[in-house]
Amino acid sequence: MSDHVTLFEVGPRDGLQNERVMIRADQKIALIDALSQCGVSRLEATSFVSPRAIPQLADAGDVMAGITRAPGVRYAVLTPNLRGFEAARAAGADEVAVFASASEGFSQANLNCSVAESFARFAPVLEAAEDAKIPVRGYVSCVTDCPFDGSTPPSAVARIATKLMTMGCFEISLGDTIGKGRPDTVYSMLAAVMTELPASVLAGHFHDTGGKAIRNIAVCLDAGVRVFDTAVAGLGGCPYAPGAPGNADTRVVMEWLEEHGVQTGLDADALGHAEAIAKAVRQGAAV
């Protein structure tokens, strides 16, 4: 088993996007700059999405322009359509991401379109990214459970993940969007996906809503997955489970991995500084 895992830091984007208190661009920049000093190699900074859809990330251009880029860190952004991709490219994004749902109900509620229509929307992003030689990550949401459709068939996840890879994504992040995944359902989902794709192109994205994030990560680790999405100080939340924990906490995952002999390359002290900023930002304090 490989003794190294990459923790993809998603706090600045997935962690902050659901915060109700508006966070200033300078606060986001301070958080990203602190995370850049923690030893992360990949960091999702923001999303170039309609400000009407996610007002919290309306300052994406200002944030990307204000950060201090650290050597060896790849700064990623979410780009749901071609307009977002063009803005991300102009901002100097090192990597972009598109997202699709494994369930029709969530696609309609979250993207206002069917799963098939969502692919049509971001197909031009993949084409433009290939021309620009910018790598594209694919997210699949609701990989075990959907708040509208119930349990997600593993075959549906495998189909969506395979299509994303076929269209040009270099990596597929499998998201337990509402945190209802269990080790058994994660295992079944992963087994279906891995009949089509190798573990080397997969990542796990778990929310701790149900308190099972670490157990679900363990299932993926045993299957050979070596990239996991985490958020500093557990930033984030689930709009379908108000008050519940959010993304898997970067420190919690790091410490669990290291206890099991798996290194992440993160600096615990530097991470502590970033955590302090994340907590201050969430509370509306100055940083």
Query: Looking at the annotation, which residues are catalytic?
Result: 238
Range of the domain at 128: 6-18+46-58+75-265
> How high does pLDDT run on average in the chain?
94
Largest CA distance in the chain: 49
Question: What's the distance, CA 121 to chain centroid?
Answer: 20
Q: Is residue 276 part of a domain?
A: no
Q: Is residue 24 part of a domain?
A: no
What is the structure's pLDDT at 238? 66
Sort residue 186 into left (φ over 0), alpha (ψ -120 to 50) or beta.
alpha
Q: Which two tokens stand for residue 222?
A: 């045993």
Q: Which residue has the higher pLDDT, 242 or 203?
A: 203
What is the structure's pLDDT at 284? 66
Q: Would you state the torsion angle of the CA atoms of residues 195, 200, 201, 203, taken in this order, to the nearest 10 degrees?
A: 100
Residues in contact with 100: Cβ distance below 8 Å, sequence separation at least 6, in sequence order: 107, 115, 118, 119, 122, 138, 139, 140, 141, 160, 163, 164
Q: What is the mean pLDDT of residues 238-242?
A: 61
Q: Is residue 68 part of a domain?
A: no
Q: What is the mean pLDDT of residues 146-152?
A: 95
Total domain count, the chain: 1
Q: Which CATH number does the domain housing residue 103 bear?
A: 3.20.20.70
Rounded to two decimals, what is the model's pTM? 0.96
What spatial distance separates the first Cα and last Cα of the chain, rounded to whole Å?
40
Cα dist. 181→13, 62, 95, 193, 255 in Å?
A: 22, 36, 28, 15, 22
Q: Is residue 155 part of a domain?
A: yes
What is the structure's pLDDT at 1? 47
Query: What phi, psi does 217 have (nearest 5°)?
Result: -60, -40
Q: Is residue 287 part of a domain?
A: no
Q: Is residue 201 part of a domain?
A: yes
Q: Is residue 41 part of a domain?
A: no
HEC string for 62-91: HHHHHCCCCCCCEEEEECCCHHHHHHHHHC
Give residue 237's pLDDT band: very low, low, confident or very high (50, 70, 90).
Answer: confident
What pairing do the DSSP bridges indicate for beta strands 202-206 and 6-9? Answer: unpaired
Q: Is residue 36 part of a domain?
A: no
Q: Which residue has the higher pLDDT, 88 or 1?
A: 88
What is the structure's pLDDT at 162? 98
Q: What is the mean pLDDT of residues 190-207?
A: 98
On the question of pLDDT at 109 being above 50, the answer is yes
Give residue 241's pLDDT band: very low, low, confident or very high (50, 70, 90).
Answer: low
Q: Are 125 and 98 contacting, i.e. CB atoms less than 8 angstroms apart?
A: yes
Q: Which residue has the higher pLDDT, 286 or 186?
A: 186
